[in-house]
Structure 1
Amino acid sequence: MERSSVNSTVLLFDKITQNIYRYGIPPICILGVVGHILNVFLFTRRTLIESSCCNYFLASSCVALFQISFSQPFQFIQHGINIHLTNIWWCRIRFYVAHSAYVASTLLITLASADRFASSCHQVKHRRWADLRVAQKLVPLVIIIACAVNSHILYMFTINYEHRNECWAAHGNIYRFIFDITLLSYVILYPLSIGTFGLLTIYNIRRCHVRQRQSSSSLDYRVRDLQKMTLVQTACVITFTLPYAILKLHRTIKTPRYDDMSDVYWAVERLITCFVDFGCYINDGAGFYIYSLSSITFRRTLMQFIYQHQSRLFHCYQPPKAIIYNVS
């Protein structure tokens, strides 16, 4: 009777996990792709395309589309409909593209935050870094560096059958520990970097306006906008990505054999992993809904873009005017 109860508990947890993957990934994936496409339209507007900061955001959204395409659909196939992908080379290529895109996307967002800080500096030597030509050189350089730094994935990663056919570094070697420590450090440093640059930008704006003795209305407007963006970006990145790195490191440090732990333990771990994965999925597709919409300037540009296209659409499809014949 006790064994039957354990089996039913395991089946219940596994069913919940599978249904979350099956019914949760498609809407998150679609919303993420749509959001990044809207970002592409937003940052290619004439009012924003000449901004070096917006060029970093534009490149980040383009790279994030690759990240979503090479991660979420295959997680849906493997964990949502139980079609196991066991080709080791496909595992390596898929994770290499997704992880390199993640690193490139986050580095570009960090550069966008640094660009805002540079543009707010009083010194000319700092402000010259907030230049469109600098951004056009740094964007491809960052993507190349991200791809080169993660090239080790193509020959060091494998399929861990004890963890849901997970594509990750093999257990029992120092490489996995170093990779997990590096990932955790990066996940911590990334939000700290954008948060620090955001606070420094706010400080520079306040100091500049105090020095010039300008009216406080425009200052408060811009400072509140930057404060909101900085707070939202930092909090969301920490909330959605830090648990993923902690879980990976926990698995590396504590590596019990499958036979040593109960079936309920593994079922609970699979469910926890599911929630942690979804935090990463939300962060991958949240560039538009969290970052862009948290800025008043970006929201205003988006509404102008939508209004312009609505006007064109209605203009193209105006119904023909009725012809009135005079029969008097």
Structure 2
Amino acid sequence: MWTTNEFIVFQRNIFSVLMPVIIVAGTLGSILNIIVFSISKKLRSSPCSLYFIFASIGYVIYLNIVALLRYLQISFNIDPSVQWSWFCKLRYYAIGFLLMLPRSYMLLAAIDRYLMSKSGQHRLSSYPVALKMILLTFFFWMIMCVHLIIYFDIQISSNGTNRICMNSPGSYSTFLSFYSLLINGLSMPLLMTIFGLLTLRNTQQHRNQIHNTMTLILRRRKKQEWLILRMLLIQIIVNVILSLPVTIYLFYAGLTQYYKKSMFRIFMENYVYNMFTLLQYINAAASFYVYSLTSRTFRKELYCLIVYYSSKLKQYMIDRPAALLTRLSHNIAS
């Protein structure tokens, strides 16, 4: 049986190895997502691409703020949130806000695909509607997460020696348990799953009709829409799987919050929760690699963009020295 110190050392080693990989790979992948969905003519033709772009932006910020602070805290015991009250408040506000924002955009993408799969609902799937929903969602979560700023602050631990950034005890702790379970844990994965299944059902029902009645141009456009749908559905499956352990933990924590627990049990519960948060960080970093592995169109568009801009850069590297040499020769001749 390991001691608590051995558990802490093991967790620190895991975070020290995995977190830099997750942050760097996730940031690079999200940036490539933004580039591909912004530039590719095939993929940007769908309003759903806007949700992918802003979800990727949210994941970049999440990884480089929330994940980076957790990495510094666990691996190097660097935690500014126990030093400054304002930092404590903003840190947990950022956790709540940046955790929900990309998930909400993925949910909006699922709703967009559901509307596209229903006849007569295409007018609701457009760029103006997508931009409005992106802004409304942004401001919605800005307001919804204000309670984290109000009730989180630096607290003194039960032994009176350690400073901890945590929520106020009492009724707010009960509210936060149900909020975390219902909003963070259940709502997003459940709604994504529901709209994903409904979209699959509608797609199967209308596939033969679409194939027989549509013109060639519209058929090609629909084929692109189905490709984007497949990328989204697989991303939803990955999101639900990686969110499930944290959801189960939140459910357990809500059920046992009034139980008397030993210090070792409290330590192990916090330890398990920290390990489960790794899955959330992996989920934030996974979208590019999910799209690359599951969509030939995405890989092809990425490859074309890499080849195009590589040739541009190569041409620039050739033309630039030649231009400088020509200018130098002209100056010498003058």
> Is TM-score (shorter-chain normalized) higher than 0.5?
yes
Residues 133/189 of structure 1: CA separation in 2 closer, same or farther (3 Å cut): same
Name 2:134's counterpart in structure 1: 139
| From 94, 98, 101, the counterpart of 2:95 | 98
Question: What 5-or-longer segments of structure 2 have no aligned partner?
Answer: 214-218, 323-334
Identity across the alignment (%): 24
**AA aligned opposite 1:283:** N
Name 1:182's counterpart in structure 2: 179
Residues 80/50 of structure 1: CA separation in 2 closer, same or farther (3 Å cut): same
Cα offset for 1:63? Answer: 2.0
The 8 Å contact of residues 109 and 232 in structure 2, kept in 1 or not, is answered as: no
| From 197, 200, 207, the counterpart of 2:198 | 200
| From 88, 109, 112, the counterpart of 1:112 | 109
| From 230, 234, 237, the counterpart of 2:236 | 234
Name 2:38's counterpart in structure 1: 44
Q: Are 1:25 and 2:30 an aligned pair?
A: no
For each residue in 1:228-285, what CA deviation from the matched residue of structure 2 results, as whole angstroms up to 9, or x when unmatched?
5455333322222232244345445435899x6254x455334322321101111122
| From 175, 188, 191, the counterpart of 2:189 | 191
Name 2:325's counterpart in structure 1: none
Q: What SS is found at the alignment partner of 1:44?
A: helix
Question: What 5-or-longer segments of structure 1 have no aligned partner?
Answer: 1-5, 322-328
Query: How many Å separate the matches in 2 of 1:193 and 1:292?
Result: 25
Name 2:309's counterpart in structure 1: 309
**AA aligned opposite 1:21:** F
Cα offset for 1:98? Answer: 2.8
The 8 Å contact of residues 72 and 79 in structure 2, kept in 1 or not, is answered as: yes
The 8 Å contact of residues 101 and 138 in structure 2, kept in 1 or not, is answered as: yes
* TM superposition score normalised by structure 2: 0.79
For each residue in 1:274-311, what CA deviation from the matched residue of structure 2 results, as whole angstroms up to 9, or x when unmatched?
32110111112222222464333323222221221222
The 8 Å contact of residues 117 and 198 in structure 1, kept in 2 or not, is answered as: yes
Residues 147/56 of structure 1: CA separation in 2 closer, same or farther (3 Å cut): same
Query: How many Å separate the matches in 2 of 1:42 and 1:181?
Result: 38
**AA aligned opposite 2:95:** A
* TM superposition score normalised by structure 1: 0.80
Cα offset for 1:150? Answer: 0.9
Q: What SS is found at the alignment partner of 1:158?
A: strand
Equivalent positions of 1:1-328 (< 5 A) are: 9-47=3-41, 48-85=43-80, 86=82, 87-123=84-120, 126-159=121-154, 167-171=165-169, 173-186=170-183, 187-214=185-212, 225=227, 229=231, 232-255=234-257, 261-263=262-264, 265-291=265-291, 293-317=293-317
Query: How many Å separate the matches in 2 of 1:267 and 1:156?
Result: 23
For each residue in 1:202-224, what CA deviation from the matched residue of structure 2 results, as whole angstroms up to 9, or x when unmatched?
33333333224539xx89x8798
Residues 52/239 of structure 1: CA separation in 2 closer, same or farther (3 Å cut): same
Name 1:3's counterpart in structure 2: none
**AA aligned opposite 2:197:** L
Cα offset for 1:117? Answer: 2.0
For each residue in 1:98-155, what CA deviation from the matched residue of structure 2 results, as whole angstroms up to 9, or x when unmatched?
32122121111111111122223221xx110111111122111110111011111111
The 8 Å contact of residues 92 and 154 in structure 1, kept in 2 or not, is answered as: yes
Query: How many Å separate the matches in 2 of 1:61 and 1:213?
Result: 33
Cα offset for 1:10? Answer: 2.1
Query: How many Å separate the matches in 2 of 1:84 and 1:46?
Result: 41
Q: What SS is found at the alignment partner of 2:212?
A: coil
Query: How many Å separate the matches in 2 of 1:188 and 1:222?
Result: 31
- The CA RMSD measured in Å over matched residues stands at 3.3
Name 2:332's counterpart in structure 1: none
- The size of the alignment, in residue pairs, is 308
Residues 165/130 of structure 1: CA separation in 2 closer, same or farther (3 Å cut): farther
Cα offset for 1:79? Answer: 1.1
The 8 Å contact of residues 13 and 267 in structure 1, kept in 2 or not, is answered as: no
**AA aligned opposite 1:105:** P
